[in-house]
Amino acid sequence: MDFNLTEEQQMLQDTVARLVREQYGFEAREGFYRSEVGFSTAFWQQLSELGLTAVPFDEALGGFGGGCVDNLVIMTELGRGLCLEPFLHSQIFGGGLLQQLANPDQQQTLLPQVVSGELQLAVAFEEPQSHYRLNDVACRAEAVEGGWRISGRKSVVIGGDSADRILVSARTFGEQRDDSGISLFVLDPAAEGVSRSGYPCIDGPRAFDLLLEKVFVPSGAMLGEEGQALGALRYQQGRAIAAQCAEALGSMEEVFSLTLDYLKTRKQFGRPIGEFQVLQHRMADICSELEQARSMAIMAACVADEPDSDDRSRRLTAAKYIVARAARFVAEQAIQLHGGIGMTWEYSLSHHAKRLVMLSHQFGDDDHHLGVYAQLMQTA
Amino acid sequence: MDFNLTEEQQMLQDTVARLVREQYGFEAREGFYRSEVGFSTAFWQQLSELGLTAVPFDEALGGFGGGCVDNLVIMTELGRGLCLEPFLHSQIFGGGLLQQLANPDQQQTLLPQVVSGELQLAVAFEEPQSHYRLNDVACRAEAVEGGWRISGRKSVVIGGDSADRILVSARTFGEQRDDSGISLFVLDPAAEGVSRSGYPCIDGPRAFDLLLEKVFVPSGAMLGEEGQALGALRYQQGRAIAAQCAEALGSMEEVFSLTLDYLKTRKQFGRPIGEFQVLQHRMADICSELEQARSMAIMAACVADEPDSDDRSRRLTAAKYIVARAARFVAEQAIQLHGGIGMTWEYSLSHHAKRLVMLSHQFGDDDHHLGVYAQLMQTA
Amino acid sequence: MNIRYTADELAFRDEVRAFVRQSLPADIATSVRLGKHLNKEQHQRWQRILSTKGWYAANWPVEHGGTGWTVVQKHIFQEECAALGAPRLISFGVNMVAPVIIKFGTEQQKACYLPRILSGEDWWCQGYSEPGAGSDLASLKTRAVRDGEHYVVNGQKTWTTLGQYANRIFCLVRTDTDARPQQGISFLLIDMDSPGISVRPIITLDGEHEVNEVFFDNVRVPVQNRIGEENRGWTCAKYLLTHERTGQAGIGTSKAALAHLKQVAAQETCDGRPLIEDPLLRAQIADIEMQLMAIEMSTLRILAAAQAGGVPGAESSILKIKGSEIRQAISHLMRKVLGPHALPFVEAELNPAFAGEPRHADYSSAPASEYFNLRKLSIYGGSNEIQKNIIAKMMLEL
Amino acid sequence: MNIRYTADELAFRDEVRAFVRQSLPADIATSVRLGKHLNKEQHQRWQRILSTKGWYAANWPVEHGGTGWTVVQKHIFQEECAALGAPRLISFGVNMVAPVIIKFGTEQQKACYLPRILSGEDWWCQGYSEPGAGSDLASLKTRAVRDGEHYVVNGQKTWTTLGQYANRIFCLVRTDTDARPQQGISFLLIDMDSPGISVRPIITLDGEHEVNEVFFDNVRVPVQNRIGEENRGWTCAKYLLTHERTGQAGIGTSKAALAHLKQVAAQETCDGRPLIEDPLLRAQIADIEMQLMAIEMSTLRILAAAQAGGVPGAESSILKIKGSEIRQAISHLMRKVLGPHALPFVEAELNPAFAGEPRHADYSSAPASEYFNLRKLSIYGGSNEIQKNIIAKMMLEL
């Protein structure tokens, strides 16, 4: 048992924390949000130059060889700064899929640019009807001469209009909700038949909907074995969930600190509101939720690199569940403790609150994971 | 809309309240509890002499012609005094079934004694496997010459060893969980093949388990039409639920008042604990729960006499649900606010707490009724 | 006892229902149901419709153009309107300043202001809260200094709802700084176009411009614009706070929202089935519906008491707490039912005039915004914590 | 980072597991699992088994007969024992007074008391709480007046757990009434057979005799029975309160209870199916199991810090609150799973020696009693409200 960061991880943390502190003030963020790509390309550039985009990749593939604890360190700091860059979706989720499934050819042509951050990925897995179920894939890829033609819709693909490649799940055989028959394709968004319509999400990052009309992709664009992509999607979504827990942790820590400050400085009825016992206990509850969430984020990071197993799945699902619950509680109560001021756009707290609540709309909310855990739970 | 008691109901309330106050001090109750029948036969006698046992019955049948609001008045006061007598099970539930289903012959032979309180009823509807489902009847009645032979088990029949007649549901045809095929029989517990083993329940009243081994009952002992008893059981259980909500209300009101007193008099850290804001807010929560429960108990009383309908079922189920939740909250928090003293046998509060929590184990707990409501809920 | 309305009340309810069904413009009903941001014109249009019918000033006495309805009728009207998807009336004029003017105003003030409220000519906003005051209303700092026949007002108000639409504002101002906090306050009516007034929008976390800061820089207000005596404004404020508090629970609004939630849950799917069939979600909806039934019954009990002449006390605080919790719980479920489709934040789609193709469905644009916006329910009008203080003090005497 | 135990720790865990599985008497395991009221003989038998193995005084230094285990080993031992259904050790002697004697006692006191604790010869109980004091420990009133080489003790203690079995009691008594509340307190060891001591049972709402009142009427206690200096007893009390608080969450106990709940839910039926298949119940169980996982992880983090020499602070309060909530939630579900079968209250069936036919099933006799009994978890040892005060003060500095 060891809950300390290594010296290297400590340095990594210092680096990212300093970068975020210096580049990602709240006003700067507002500017990035309002920009066309919806995040800071300069900041992304810096992540790339400092080698941070390479952290989650194997050394053999030009990466830094970091594990999910390194991801935890990075994502916690990005979460603290409410950063808008697609680190999680491009480097951890998309990058993870690529690394797990790419054949040598794909490794050569795609991976180096992804590792360096030059080429950003997005993963398109939600559909209008799927509601967090990775196996519910109505999008179909038909075998044609030299490749495939994909038709269907994908919803709320996080990663913005700027993603250079989209990893799309599409069914090459089987019924709509079968586990097998799902394949993964590397899609160039510039291909004919691709309509991508982007928008900001309410918690900040940009996303897009995808309409695919008989889009041709060459055979070489298939990632992994035909029809067998679900396992990898689930596994890598597990890594993404661990990273998201870390992001939520950073955000919650920031909210906790802003709120505690507020309780100590804000006066009402002639004294700091932190002297009111009800608010003290509420803050103690926040503290307790944060503590559990921290424990689960750490646990998730520690198991996410393990080989697939029921134990790993249970723990990652539990982490997502506990963190989602804590995040919502912390967000709602932080606003409540602040009163009206906590609801204003010009105060960073409200944006953290949105992020913390809406994170649960990616990769499944607490109800979804409660159901998943209930199925996976050992009963004898 | 009218939430006032009539003058007669007001008098009824005064009568029962005075009786309970005078006869049912906490120490006296302990004596009744320890006695062989488990309640006060003298008190029951008084209820009878004052005509209170006749309240829930039609005037045409020798009753007082009271409705469920009269039951509300009586049960609230009995609840306040934590009374152990089987008023609800014998007069309201059992009596209601009898009144609804009895043929003229049964009316003549049985009802007058029940109305007067001389003959007490218990209703045996739970089985080892049924978990609140009235339709889950494994107990079987076989047609034989001149009557029926009943075999099976009934669990936790409230009403003590002293019930003179037991209304037993048994299946005369159909599969174990079919809605039709359930018949109701008036059973003399002295009949051959009946084993009745009694015990106190943790919240005070006595109950018994029933083992029926080929018990012969004559044809005239069947209540209502063969195989059609489920509707009446459900309808009358609805009236019993309304009465139980009232009982819980009386008990909660007493707990509320004991706890509020305690907060005002008990000192800790040099001041009355009621000055601590956290405890004030907890008490406000109790107050709010009590208010909702009171509203629902009143509503239940008002609709319980209506003809059967989905609206009536929904409202009664909702009342049971809201009251059960409130009762548990009030019980748990009252103990918590009292600290250790609230857990002692010698303080009436702890017995109220047990009653309030365990009421939910009769006629279905909150989870059961949540499920029932979810099914009955209008969705379009 | 009887929980049902009388035959007369039922007839009245049917009349209201029929009128609203017939008269509520479809675009307004749709905007409300889908959680779009109603614009000024829509608010005014609905007010005019009610005003023409004579139902706008439901709470006023007949002699001033009110309806003369009973407490129960007012409740029925309010809840039916809400349940049928009518917009909540902007209450600052018709239901807040007007009752104060009727109770404490001079004949001249009544003659001047009430007709303009009825006709929709005046749009009022409220100048109560100040930065740094929050729930501690009596600590207000905006000063009004007497200068001949005027007060000179300096200071700042905040959280002024829809102040951007208003041409008048009613304010609590401090006219005596030596008195104890709740004394020395006066109640002033101020024209928003007075020199020295400026309005700055406050954008809330959902991107909405609903509230404002209002700044007073040497604003001259005629003394005749004061309601009641100088330094006795707290009396007006208290009257207003206790006036008509039975609608606190917002039952009609919650009913409409719950019905909408069920409809959406019947359209959204998971695992190939409508979400409404998911046992866990269904149980959560059932739980809320039963809680709503309970506060509706509590409201009816308070109404009946008020009908008989009682004054609702801290029970209103219970309704306010539970009502806001229920409304927030519905908005939480609504957001969850949408799953990933709750994420897109396309402000254009929140405009009632939006005519394009919605991102996912017409009902999916607003719920996340609305969920965040509704955090206000447990904060404003006395936070839920303040309400519990009130219960502890008034009902429990702790 | 690594959440897993080291190979050595895993080997240790396996050793503990194997030993407990082999050595825990079946009757004791059954009594614990089914929630029966363990008797004195069962407690002592299990203590002797551990003592023989050398594992009874897990927290003592080796020189006094302890194990010399690391913090993590102690945790593993405690949680494994609990998870495998061993009874909770009665801690008053081995884990409460003993550490105080070891830390503050004279050599003579150590030599006198420690071996008798190890051997099981002495059964200790605790004289801390007093009527009217509750969570306000420092307000105690029991007086000890010096009379030559004795103190004369007068007063009353309450909530003395299993005092009916004890031959010794350790007490906080007031030796200086003029000092500030937390000063002027001394820590005394008293023989329960001293003239003037009487014990009165307190029966709790579940009918159990677990706690007692202890009365002191001119009880003469030799001065040499005082631990530490006169008027410095608060130091001992505080040491004891902060000593070994990592077990607060009771994770092993909750794990065992949760496993038992699942087994019972697989046997009880509703609508012809095992209750464990009911989606709502299953979700409630899953929710608790995940919460339990979270506090287990939090516990491990605190342990690792303690292993590295840190002193756990108010984090223990978080664990105590969450741990008690989880344990209470499990007991609530256990009661509910039984449906009507939770109602019967047949005290004979709670006796480990009961050999008759159980009313419904062997597992159905105790859960309702246990649910009520466990209300104590959020009350004793500093109520959950007091724990939140501690968090606010110590961690948040509010």
Distance between CA B283 and CA B330 in Å, rounded?
Answer: 9
Q: Which domains, and CATH codes, for chain A?
A: 7-116 (1.10.540.10), 122-227 (2.40.110.10), 231-379 (1.20.140.10)
pLDDT band at C340 (very low <50, low <70, confident <90, very high): very high
CA neighbor of A212 nearest in space, from A146, A114, A137, A119: A137
Neighbouring chains to B with at least 3 Cβ pairs closer than 8 Å: A, C, D
For chain C, list the domains and their CATH numbers.
Answer: 7-89 (no CATH), 124-231 (2.40.110.10), 246-395 (1.20.140.10)
For the four alpha carbons of B190, B191, B193 and B199, in that order, the dihedral sign comes to: negative
Whether chain C has a CB inside 8 Å of the CB on A193: the answer is no
Q: How far apart are CA D56 and CA D93, in angstroms?
A: 11
Residue with tokens 């899929």: A97
Q: Which of A246, A227, A248, A377 is nearest to A313 (CA)?
A: A377
Is residue C149 classed exposed, middle or buried when 0-12, 13-18 and 19+ CB atoms within 10 A define those classes?
Answer: exposed
pLDDT of residue C245: 57
Which among C3, C266, C283 has the least Cβ separation from residue B379?
C266
Rounded distance between C-alpha atoms, residue B247 and residue A269, angstroms? 43
Which residues, including other chains, have CB under 8 Å from residue A82's CB and lie 6 or more apart?
Answer: A24, A26, A29, A204, A251, A254, A348, A351, A352, A355
Between strands D197-203 and D209-222, the pairing is antiparallel
Are B304 and B242 in contact by the 8 Å Cβ rule? The answer is: yes
| CA–CA separation, A47 and B315 (whole Å) | 60
CA dihedral B95, B100, B103, B105 (to 10 degrees): 20
Give Cα separations from C211 to A191, A354, C287 (angstroms).
Answer: 46, 19, 33
Q: At C392, phi and psi to the nearest 5?
A: -60, -40
Query: In angstroms, how far is CA D41 from the centroid of its own chain?
Result: 18
Instruction: Say whether A361 and C343 touch across the interface (CB within 8 A).
Output: yes
Nearest CA in chain B to A278: B278
The helix/strand/coil state of B14 is: helix
Chain A nearest CA to C187, separation (Å): 22
C positions 31-50 inside 8 Å of A (CB): none
Instruction: Write down the mean pLDDT value for chain A.
Output: 97
Q: Which two tokens stand for residue D81?
A: 């024992």
Residues of chain A found within 8 Å of residue D293, distances taken between Cβ atoms: 296, 299, 315, 318, 322
Ordered DSSP codes for A33-55: HHSSSSS-HHHHHHHHHTTGGGT
> What residue has token string 């664990």?
D319
Smallest CA–CA distance from B362 into chain D, residue: D340
Structural tokens at position C313: 């006390």
Q: Do B280 and C1 count as a contact with CB atoms less than 8 A apart? A: no
Mean local confidence (pLDDT), A309-318:
98
Chain D residues with beta carbon closer than 8 angstroms to that of C283: 280
Asked if D134 and B343 come within 8 Å (Cβ–Cβ), the reply is: no
Can you tell me the mean pLDDT for D225-240?
92
| CB–CB contact A129 C269 (8 Å) | yes
Q: Do B321 and C290 touch (CB under 8 A)?
A: yes
Q: pLDDT tens digits for B320-330?
A: 999 999 999 99
Mean pLDDT, range A113-118, rounded to an integer: 96
Question: Which positions ≥6 away from D340 have C-beta within 8 Å?
Answer: B126, B131, B132, B155, B156, B361, B362
Q: What's the confidence (pLDDT) of residue B54?
A: 98
Torsion angles phi and psi, residue C218, rounded to 5 = 50, 50
Strand partners, A170: A183
What whole-number distance in Å separates Cα of residue A167 and Cα of residue A178?
A: 20
Given CB atoms, is B350 within the 8 Å cutoff of chain D?
yes
For residue D246, pLDDT over 60 is answered with no
Task: Give the model confidence (pLDDT) of C86-127 as tens digits.
Answer: 999 999 999 999 999 999 999 999 999 999 999 999 999 999
Distance from the D125 Cα atom to the nearest Cα atom in chain B, whole angstroms:
18
Q: Reduced to 3 DSSP states, what percent helix, strand and coil does chain B have, rounded to the nearest 5?
A: 55, 15, 30
B277 close to A (CB below 8 A): yes
CA distance B271 to chain A (A): 15
Q: Average model confidence (pLDDT) for chain D?
A: 94
Task: Tokens for A288, please give them.
Answer: 């307790």
Query: Can you give the pLDDT at residue C304?
Result: 92
Chains B, D: CB contacts under 8 A, how many? 133
**Quick one: which of A141, A130, A135 has its CA closest to A173?**
A141
Rounded to whole angstroms, how far apart are CA atoms B225 and B215? 20
> What is the structure's pLDDT at D243?
65
Look at A295 and D294 and tell me if their CB atoms are within 8 Å.
yes
B343/D contact by beta carbon, under 8 A:
yes
- Alpha-carbon Rg of chain A, whole angstroms? 21
**Residue A169 bridge partners (DSSP):** A184
Residue A178 in contact with partner chain C when CB distance is under 8 A:
no
Q: D63: which DSSP letter?
A: G
What pLDDT is attached to residue B270?
85
Chain C environment of D280 (Cβ under 8 Å): 279-280, 283
First to last CA, chain A: 28
Rounded to whole angstroms, how far apart are CA atoms D373 and D387?
20
Interval A271-293 mean pLDDT: 97
Total length of chain A: 380
Spatial contact of C81 and C253, defined as CB atoms under 8 Å apart: no
Using a CB–CB cutoff of 8 Å, tell me whether A289 touches chain C: no
CB distance A278 to B281 below 8 Å: yes
Which H or E run includes D147? strand D143-147
Element holding C260 (H helix, E strand): helix C251-267
B263 touches chain C (CB under 8 A): yes
- Judge whether D268 is closer than 8 Å to chain A, CB to CB: no
Question: At residue A105, what are phi and psi to the nearest 5 degrees?
Answer: -65, -50
DSSP state of D222: E
Q: Which amino acid is at D393?
A: K
Is residue D245 pLDDT above 60, yes or no? no
Residue of B nearest to A276 (CA): B277
Mutant choice from A273, A275, A277 vs B, greatest count of B C-beta within 10 A: A277
**How high is the pLDDT of residue A380?**
74
Range list of β-strands (E), chain C? 124-127, 143-147, 150-157, 168-174, 185-191, 197-203, 209-222, 226-227, 269-270, 273-274
Distance, CA of D138 to CA of A166 (rounded, Å): 66
Calculate mean pLDDT across residues D217-225: 97
Partners of A122 in beta bridges: A166
**pLDDT digits 0-9 by tens, C257-302:** 999 999 999 999 999 999 999 999 999 999 999 999 999 999 999 9
Interface test with A, best of D4, D9, D76, D293 (most A CBs within 10 A): D293
| pLDDT average, residue stretch A222-250 | 98
D348's CB contacts (< 8 A; 6+ apart) are D354, D356
Residue C134 contacts A where some CB pair is shorter than 8 Å: yes
Task: Give chain B positions within 8 Å (CB) of D333.
Answer: none
Q: Does B28 touch chain C (CB under 8 A)?
A: no
- Residues in contact with B125: Cβ distance below 8 Å, sequence separation at least 6, in sequence order: B134, B154, B169, B233, B237
Which secondary-structure segment (H or E) carries A166?
Answer: strand A165-171
Nearest to C286 among B296, B298, B370 (CB): B370
What is the pLDDT, as a whole number, of residue D134?
67
pLDDT in tens, A38-48: 999 999 999 99
How distant is the Cα of A55 from the closest Cα of chain C, in angstroms?
28
| Angle, helix C71-83 to helix C7-23, in steps of 10 degrees | 40
pLDDT in tens, chain B (380 residues): 899 999 999 999 999 999 999 999 999 999 999 999 999 999 999 999 999 999 999 999 999 999 999 999 999 999 999 999 999 999 999 999 999 999 999 999 999 999 999 999 999 999 999 999 999 999 999 999 999 999 999 999 998 788 999 999 999 999 999 999 999 999 999 999 999 999 999 999 999 999 999 999 999 999 999 999 999 999 999 999 999 999 999 999 999 999 999 999 999 888 999 999 999 999 999 999 999 999 999 999 999 999 999 999 999 999 999 999 999 999 999 999 999 999 999 999 999 999 999 999 999 999 999 999 999 999 87
Comparing alpha-carbon positions, the chain A residue that sits nearest to D3 is A1
pLDDT at C246 exceeding the cut of 60 = no
Tokens linked to D310: 């840190």
Give the closest of A129, A155, A340 to C379, CB-based: A340
Q: B85-127 pLDDT, tens per residue? A: 999 999 999 999 999 999 999 999 999 999 999 999 999 999 9
pLDDT score recorded for residue D244: 53
Q: B242, B92 in Cβ contact below 8 A?
A: no
For residues B99 and B57, is the Cβ–Cβ distance under 8 A? yes
The two structure tokens encoding residue C102: 């009727």
Three-class secondary structure of residue D134 per DSSP: coil
Cβ separation D345–B371 shorter than 8 A: no
Query: Whose structure tokens read 């001591």?
Result: D197
Using an 8 Å CB-CB cutoff, list chain A residues near B336. Answer: none
Give the pLDDT band of residue C4 (cuts 50, 70, 90).
very high
Q: What are chain A's partners, defined as 3 or more CB pairs within 8 angstroms?
A: B, C, D
Identify the contact set of chain D against chain C, taking CB-CB distances under 8 A.
279-280, 283
CB-CB neighbors (< 8 A) of B277 in chain A: 276-278
pLDDT digits (tens, 9 = 90+) for C171-195: 999 999 888 878 899 999 999 999 9
Whether residues D205 and B354 touch (CB distance < 8 A) is answered with yes
pLDDT band at C133 (very low <50, low <70, confident <90, very high): confident
Find, among B196, D351, A333, the residue nearest to C379 by Cα.
Answer: A333
